[in-house]
Every structure is written in C-alpha cells, then in structure tokens.
Amino acid sequence: MEYLEILEILKQQEEVLKFKHFTNADAWELGSIIVEEARKNNFPAAISIKLNNGYTVFQYGFDGTGLDHKNWMERKENTVKVKAMSSMRAYATLKVQNITLADWFLDPMEYSICGGAFPINVEGMGIIGTIIVSGISVAMDHDLIIEGLCQYLKVDYLKRIKEDF
C-alpha cells in the first residue's frame, strides 16, 4: 500500500469516528470494549483514555505492561494534542511529505509518530482527548483503537490498516 493511500484511509477513519458526546461513562464503555478485544486476541497492551485537561478517564494494563508503555503512550498522546490527528496519520503525513519530526519542531523524546493514539473528536466541540494503546505493534496498536471505536460507534465498515508500513 502506498503512503498516499494509507494517509487517505487514516483521514477517513478520523472523519467517520467522531462522537456526538463523550462522558466518563462513554470512556468506561469504550475502554472496556478495547480491553476485551485485546484480551480476545492475546494482545499484551496498555490502554488509556485521557482528556486534554490531563485527566485520565480510563486506564488498563495487561500483565507485562509497565513504565515503558506509559512513556510511549505519553509521547503518542502529545502528538495527537499538538498535531490534531492520530499518531499514525502524523507518521503517514511525514512519509508523504518526506520530512521528519524536526521539520515540525518536535522533539522525539516528547513526541512519537507511530500508531496507537487517536483523537476523541466530539461534534461541535472538536478534539477533547485521546485514546491511546501501546504494546502490540505500530499498526495493531492503531487498529485495536479503530476496532473498539467501530464497535462503540456502530460503524459497520471502515477501511483498516493491519500491517506496519
């Protein structure tokens, strides 16, 4: 798959997977769906849902997850907050434009451009937080979030990226 095609798929995912509202109860239900999908697939993932004000409304880590996952999750979340797009889309954007994080004036110690962080975009409000997964692979961290969102938002079909690129 070409980077431009990947970028278009990622843009479509962000356009379709928006919320009408987002409460702590929504975070619990969505987070629980993602945890169950990870459990079903034996993914050793760390999962977090955070609001832009810094409040963590959901968090779960399977056995074997730890501080390294937390650090990756923070860097992925930072990317979503600054670039207003999924961390996977940020990666694809850099590839298409043939540039690096440095061209965006972002420090790789603080930001990560790999899959696993997706914006919580509420209609009429914009991006209010981030769903974050770490511990599988670049593509599968991202796709686990997409699977959870599709189930929660009742989206029957959406093009997906299931392999690292």
Domains of the chain: residue spans and CATH: 3-153 (3.30.450.150)
Q: How high is the pLDDT of residue 65? A: 96
First vs last Cα of the chain: how many Å apart?
Answer: 8
Judge whether 13 and 119 are in contact, CB under 8 Å. no
Q: How high is the pLDDT of residue 161? A: 86
Assessment of whether the complete model's pTM goes beyond 0.75? yes
Q: How high is the pLDDT of residue 165? A: 67
Q: How high is the pLDDT of residue 163? A: 75
Q: How high is the pLDDT of residue 43? A: 95
Q: List Cα–Cα distances, 47 to 92, 99, 142, 157, in angstroms.
A: 22, 29, 11, 23
Report mean pLDDT in 10-residue bins for the chain, 165 residues. Answer: 91 98 98 98 97 97 96 98 98 95 96 96 98 96 98 94 74
